[in-house]
Amino acid sequence: MGYLYDLEGKKMKVALVVGARPNFMKAAPILRAIDDANQHELCTITPLLVHTGQHYDTALSDAFFSDLNLPAPNIYLNVGSGSHAVQTAEIMRRFEGVLETEHPDAVLVVGDVNSTVACALVTAKFSFGAANSRPLLAHVEAGLRSFDRAMPEECNRIVTDHLSDLLFVTEESGLRNLKNEGISADRVFFAGNTMIDSVLACEERAECSTVLDQLGLVMPHGNGSAEVRPYVVLTLHRPANVDNRGAFTEILEGLHEVAAAQTVVFPAHPRTQKRINEHRLERYFSFLTSNNRHGRDDAGPGLTVIEPLGYLDFLCLLKHASLVVTDSGGIQEEATCLGVPCVTVRDNTERPITLTNGTNVLGGTQQYTIRAAIREQLHRTYLRSFPEKWDGKAGARIVKILLRFWKDAGIMARS
Ligand code: UD1
């Protein structure tokens, strides 16, 4: 009780770091929960939204801010692209300045991108000076492991988890992995999945998207009703899958059979679009731009590349698909909660709950394994699945734990 009294009227300043597309939907529910907590708590939180600028294209960044009702970032670091070393170093250099001027009490990093590990490293080694103190460091989406260190994200996850003071886990495997790595259980909290908070919060609005009409995926009936045509969604952006021409071609060959039978819509990441041109793989695709896709009413079979979609349009496209083929981590989770069969074009996943309790199967990266997985999944129907604590309340749990920590212990790392 004494703490409550001591802290009454004080504000906890929390820097929340985002940088790349998959960060935005994980951060939005935390900001909303902070707003809620501020209405009810004696001790309030001042959020400071820091965008590193790792992703800067409108389609990968601004579109998500408006779809998710995120406020404009308080600080934009404008780092842009670069090699892993250059990008990570530049984020670190610029984020250190933020800690120096803003003095946050806590830093929250989400996910596993370069912005996550860069800001975690800076926070863990920072010192406010004479007091020899630093902000508390919390990792949202801790404990996931693919056990494949060739993935840059796996290195980012391991380093971030081992530096963090508080670790918020999305699925049971995360608890096991962190225990096996010797991370003390009193720092680890099974909070749930903020990415699923966003799906549940935005699903109704996503139904108003016109993306299916624009892509010719809605078949009108004479009586005024309409039906969604069967189609597949494809996303590919992992360097291991698209940077090497042979690997990319193998995947495209694996998709050949399904693409001959139905429309495969492929919102392509800028990296992937570049590789299609560099590898001269255009012959596999037809291309639709936002200028020529309006009013299309005849989507036929084939692989159709479109520009990256915003959050609400993608959610709508995914929800109504017969199947999604992807190498993304987050889409495996979204497909599980939407009940959409998913083939992951990888040999492993850091999200095993989507295999055991969800709609995901591993399709590998060889054409015959991908083809077999697609055949298997196209014949399956799934119910929507909500693994433990994928209930729309993860953001609220995280903020509650943060506040409890603040009230009970003050800021641990300041002592
Ligand atoms: C990053 C994350 C990956 C995540 C993905 C989601 C890392 C190591 N990788 O990969 O985990 O799944 O985001 O999209 O952090 N580019 C643009 N416009 C942009 C941003 C990037 O054209 O706004 C192009 C640039 O050519 C850049 C390339 O995409 O070099 C790669 O961008 P980068 O942020 O390095 O990695 P992603 O592949 O986007």
Which SS3 state, helix, strand or coil, does residue 307 take?
coil
Catalytic residue list contains 269 = no
Question: Residue 290: which of 31, 19, 59 has the closest Cα?
Answer: 59
Instruction: Give the sign of the dihedral formed by CA 183, CA 18, CA 350, CA 174.
Output: positive
Give the residue, out of 271, 274, 326, 331, with the most ligand 1 atoms within 8 A of its beta carbon, to mutate for a pocket test.
271
Is the shortest distance between the CB of 175 and ligand 1 below 6 Å? no
Contact 264, 231 (CB under 8 A): yes
Ligand 1 atom 35, closest CA: 81
Which residue type occupies 188? V
Model confidence at 288, pLDDT cuts 50, 70, 90, reads: confident
Q: Where are the beta strands (DSSP E) in 72-150?
A: 75-76, 106-110, 136-142
The pLDDT tens digits for 112-126 are 999 999 999 999 999
Q: What percent of the chain has pLDDT over 90?
A: 85
Q: Which long-range contacts (CB under 8 A, 24 or more apart) does 365-368 make?
A: 365/240, 365/241, 365/247, 365/250, 365/251, 366/250, 366/254, 367/250, 367/251, 367/253, 367/254, 367/256, 368/254
Q: State the closest ligand 1 atom to the C-alpha of 271, by its place in the atom list counted from 1.
A: 29
Q: State the closest ligand 1 atom to the C-alpha of 54, by its place in the atom list counted from 1.
A: 34
Ligand 1 atom 17, closest CA: 270
Model confidence at 226, pLDDT cuts 50, 70, 90, reads: confident
Mean pLDDT of the 194-214 span: 97
pLDDT at 414: 41
Q: What is the mean pLDDT of the chain?
A: 93
Query: Which listed residue (237, 256, 294, 320) is catalytic?
Result: 237
